Amino acid sequence: MLFTSEHEEVRRSLQKVIAAEINPHVDAWEAEGRFPAHDVFKKLGALGFLGLNKPVEYGGMGLDYSYALLMAEEVGGIRCGAVPMAIGVQTDMATPALARFGSDHVKRQFLAPAVSGDQVACIGVSEPGAGSDVASIKTTARSDGDDYVITGGKMWITNGAQADWICLLANTGDGPAHRNKSLICVPMSEKGVTVARTLDKLGMRSSDTAQIFFDEVRVPKRNRIGEEGKGFTYQMMQFQEERLWGAAACLKPAEWIIDQTIEYTRGRQAFGKSILDNQVVHFRLAELKTEVELLRSLIYRAAEQMMAGEDMTTLASMAKLKAGRLGREVSDACMQYWGGMGYMTETPVTRYYRDSRLTSIAGGADEVMLSIIAKAMGTLPGMTNRS
């Protein structure tokens, strides 16, 4: 069994924090287009939730990955997609490579305050011309003595307007695209870092997603994570945790919307009976509930692979693909059963419809996941057929 009684204690504690400190404010944050990241992260960090599987010497709990997975699943209980996404950036997108490959110096300067919630982190990979195609990024960090001088820009950066530092992927050499990049921790307060604008998005309304420019930003080379030229490899590893986290965070919202739809359709009358009494409705909701449970099983299996030290790339990609497509399926079907009310911004299904659409785009689009899966199957064009 993946979860024990100790896990359930952590689950209950996190649920209490979400119910008391986060969910009562979500509607206001969504309306404002921003949530107080420093305040929320400090509360989570003080209780150990931002470093469940991070090293104890940097403030983490030193637990295995199953606890991080539990948290990813549980933050899905937050009644919007933006705040869970921002938390996931802090725990499973901007810091895994830092925790695994960073020097003691860079961990103390950047990882420790991220774990405690004293600082907000963001991850800088995507650019206007390089989203899923990570190898084609243009941001450069040229060598100048003991420093890097960074020039370029990043786009769609979650937490970008409030972040204290960014885990930045940049070209640090002229070699092959997969071996000329490095991950560098860059304080957002450095001269030459500009948050150009926050982006107006379809969903994830309370997330401060930013466009960021770097104009001759000088940082010491000791801020680099691991070896120079290994950034692409580190980021690909980091993506696996991001994708599994993203899939796990989709479970509770899907379940909740199904439950909300059951409640609404049970009380809504049409042609002399409740909407729920129509077989097409209750059968469809039963199918969707089954799909959610199948996704949960796939996610747990991928996590078990990871904890066993095995390569979970294929299963994590499958989970990410399925989570995005299931979110679209659940949101569309449930919105239909809400009728005209489903098109009103005041109903929960509408927010879920907007927020869930991002899962098939961010962190690697569906088409990228399909390519990874096809590669594992040996069916990509140019690959030798496998028996």
CATH number of the domain encompassing residue 326: 1.20.140.10
Query: Cα separation of 304 and 313, whole Å?
Result: 12
384: in domain? no
Q: Are residues 132 and 261 in the same domain?
A: no
Q: Are residues 99 and 155 in the same domain?
A: no
Residue 13: pLDDT above 90?
Answer: yes
> How many structural domains are present in the chain?
3
387: in domain? no
385: in domain? no
Q: At 132, is the pLDDT very low, low, confident or very high (cuts 50, 70, 90)?
A: confident
pLDDT in tens, 285-306: 999 999 999 999 999 999 999 9
| pLDDT at 247 (0 to 100) | 98
204: in domain? yes
pLDDT in tens, 292-343: 999 999 999 999 999 999 999 999 999 999 999 999 999 999 999 999 999 9
For residue 184, give its domain range: 123-227
144: in domain? yes
**Is position 242 annotated as part of the catalytic site?**
yes
| Percent of the chain with pLDDT strictly greater than 90 | 97
Q: Are residues 263 and 357 in the same domain?
A: yes
Q: Are residues 73 and 129 in the same domain?
A: no
Q: Are residues 127 and 222 in the same domain?
A: yes
Average pLDDT over residues 7-24: 98
List 242, 263, 304, 346, catalytic entry: 242
The domain that holds 91 is classified in CATH as 1.10.540.10
Ramachandran angles phi, psi of 187, nearest 5°? -60, 135
223: in domain? yes
Residue 143: pLDDT above 50?
Answer: yes
Q: Are residues 204 and 239 in the same domain?
A: no
Q: Are residues 248 and 370 in the same domain?
A: yes
Residue 58: pLDDT above 70?
Answer: yes
Q: At 387, is the pLDDT very low, low, confident or very high (cuts 50, 70, 90)?
A: very low
Boundary residue ending a domain (104, 120, 136): 120
pLDDT in tens, 222-252: 999 999 999 999 999 999 999 999 999 999 9
| pLDDT at 383 (0 to 100) | 74
Mean residue pLDDT of the chain comes to 96
110: in domain? yes
Q: Are residues 34 and 99 in the same domain?
A: yes
Q: Are residues 187 and 251 in the same domain?
A: no
